[in-house]
């Protein structure tokens, strides 16, 4: 997928996404603030155009312990929060060490980029060469009640997301507003608690803070901002080795989630981020769920064996996701963990086609094919996929590993 310095699954920096037809969560690295020195571009949450040949448990509390609060099952709590009043939360965030972007911040970002590149400059007057975000910041700074100190929301992002920075080091952040009793908040707390956060196989977005606003039934999740541009078709600086490392991180990250009985349920390229330093992270746990282990699973984790008693695995009905497996498309039910495996298979398939590595590593098809089995009972577990992938990768020669997709 990507090297630390020459990503093929890479970023194009913090962007203005207002002209995107639809949007997804957008991030950039917490410890690589220079990611935002790249030129503005667009985010899109559209599905890839590649043509292709219940019982909820609950985990809550800041210490990551299990919760018996059944209110998390109420779907009203798990819907996307609409249009929070960001100005009302601005001072609270500042007291916790975070700043939301202002019109001045957005203008400065564009102007620094142009100065660094010695490129064209835009004045405050309309110009076709000026990105919409810069023009909007100029207008807002002139016309807004607070002038250039007014908050400047990225019009291309969902209303429950807002960009900003961490005050102590200028690291870019994304603040996500969720319902205070949502499953997503419980899951993110679980995944961010020790020892889970320090686990090197935990490939979920780093979270800096959880800020509750009980009077508004809200919680603000302050996440590191990584880039959603994990694929650049035809990139000439990424070897097959880099690509396979990225794929392995995706598989390993799913094994980690399943080891804690968490099903993501919306795995796709749009919910995968990259920090330009060889790290990948899953985001958007809005539809994710935690499933307590059945009694027979208590002494043997689901993820540690390729084979397990599927008759005792949990079941879910149709879901809202970027990629939906055939059994749920048909209105049936499925094992949530096998839904994840199918979605990961689609992610790998899309990535292989878009990067051009499909022809360089035909063996990968042997890994993906069982993941896309039309019958979910016959799909492997995530851990079995990882074992198969590692065996396949070990047989790839050094010469092939050092080749590029365009060679």
DSSP 43-99: ---PPP--------B-B-STT--B---GGGG-HHHHSPPP---HHHHHHHHHHTTEE
Map tokens 């909007």 to a residue. Answer: 136
Strand pairing category for 262-263 and 218-224: unpaired
Of the candidates 318, 273, 322, 234, which has an alpha carbon nearest to the alpha carbon of residue 45? 322
Query: pLDDT by residue for the chain (407 residues), tens digit each?
Result: 654 333 333 222 344 444 333 333 333 322 222 223 333 332 333 333 333 333 333 333 333 334 334 445 677 888 888 889 999 999 999 999 999 999 888 888 877 777 766 555 554 443 444 677 777 777 776 666 777 888 988 877 899 999 999 999 999 999 999 999 999 999 999 999 999 999 999 999 999 999 999 999 999 999 999 998 777 666 667 899 999 999 999 999 999 999 999 999 999 999 999 998 889 999 999 999 999 986 544 444 444 444 344 457 899 999 999 999 999 999 999 999 999 999 999 999 999 999 889 988 999 999 999 999 999 999 999 999 999 999 999 999 999 999 988 76
Q: How far apart are CA 16 and CA 39, in angstroms?
A: 10
Cα–Cα distance between 119 and 385 in angstroms, integer?
A: 47
What's the Cα-to-Cα distance from 104 to each of 95, 119, 146, rounded to whole Å?
20, 20, 11
pLDDT for residue 178: 97
Distances (CA, A) of 312 to 292, 294, 303: 12, 7, 14
Token pair of 371 as six digits? 């993941």
pTM equals 0.78
Give the domain ranges of the chain. 45-76+230-401
Distance (Å, whole) CA 375 – CA 137: 51
Half-sphere exposure (CA, 13 Å, Cβ side) for 317?
Answer: 3
Report the interhelical angle of 382-394 vs 364-371 (nearest 10°).
170
Rg of the chain over CA atoms, in angstroms?
22
19 near 11, Cβ under 8 Å? Answer: no
Q: For residue 324, what are its two tokens?
A: 């939906």
Which CATH superfamily does the domain covering 45-76+230-401 fall into? Transferase(Phosphotransferase) domain 1 (1.10.510.10)
The closest of 28, 206, 178 to 101, measured between CA atoms, is 28
Torsion angles phi and psi, residue 87, rounded to 5: -60, -35
Q: What SS3 class is residue 176?
A: strand
Cα atoms found within 13 Å of the Cα of residue 182, Cβ hemisphere only:
27
CA-wise closest residue to 273 among 206, 216, 339: 206
In which residue are the tokens 């008693």 written? Answer: 309
* Rounded-to-integer distance, Cα 261 and Cα 105, Å: 41
């Amino acid at each position: 997928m990507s090297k630390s310095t020459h990503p093929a699954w890479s970023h194009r920096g913090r962007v203005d996404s207002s002209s995107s037809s639809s949007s997804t969560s957008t991030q950039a690295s917490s410890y690589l603030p220079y990611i935002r020195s790249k030129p503005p571009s667009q985010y899109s949450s559209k599905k890839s155009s590649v043509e292709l040949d219940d019982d909820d448990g609950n985990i809550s509390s800041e210490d990551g312990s299990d919760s018996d609060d059944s209110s998390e099952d109420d779907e009203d709590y798990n819907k996307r929060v609409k249009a929070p009043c960001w100005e009302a939360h601005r001072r609270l965030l500042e007291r916790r060490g975070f700043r939301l972007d202002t019109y001045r911040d957005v203008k400065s970002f564009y102007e620094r980029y142009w100065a660094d590149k010695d490129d064209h400059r835009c004045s405050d007057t309309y110009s076709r060469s000026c990105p919409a975000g810069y023009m909007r910041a100029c207008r807002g700074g002139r016309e807004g009640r607070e002038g250039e100190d007014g908050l400047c929301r990225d019009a291309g992002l969902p209303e429950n997301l807002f960009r900003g920075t961490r005050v102590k080091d200028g690291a870019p952040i994304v603040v996500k507003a969720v319902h205070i009793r949502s499953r997503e908040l419980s899951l993110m707390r679980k995944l961010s608690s020790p020892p889970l956060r320090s686990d090197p196989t935990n490939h979920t977005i780093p979270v800096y803070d959880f800020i509750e606003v009980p009077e508004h039934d809200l919680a603000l999740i302050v996440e590191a901002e990584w880039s959603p541009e994990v694929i650049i078709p035809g990139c000439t600086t990424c070897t097959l080795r880099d690509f396979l490392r990225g794929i392995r991180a995706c598989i390993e990250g799913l094994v980690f989630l399943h080891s804690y009985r968490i099903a993501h349920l919306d795995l796709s390229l749009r919910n995968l981020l990259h920090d330009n330093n060889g790290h990948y992270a899953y985001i958007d746990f809005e539809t994710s769920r935690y499933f307590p282990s059945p009694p027979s699973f208590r002494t043997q984790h689901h993820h540690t064996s390729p084979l397990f008693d599927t008759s005792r695995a949990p079941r879910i009905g149709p879901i809202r996701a970027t990629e939906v497996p055939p059994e749920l498309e048909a209105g049936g039910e499925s094992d949530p963990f096998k839904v994840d495996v199918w979605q990961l298979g689609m992610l790998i398939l899309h990535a292989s086609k878009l990067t051009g590595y499909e022809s360089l590593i035909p063996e990968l098809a042997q890994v993906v094919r069982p993941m896309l089995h039309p019958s979910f009972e016959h799909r492997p577990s995530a851990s079995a996929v990882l074992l198969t992938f590692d065996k396949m990768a070990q047989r790839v020669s050094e010469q092939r590993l050092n080749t590029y997709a365009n060679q």
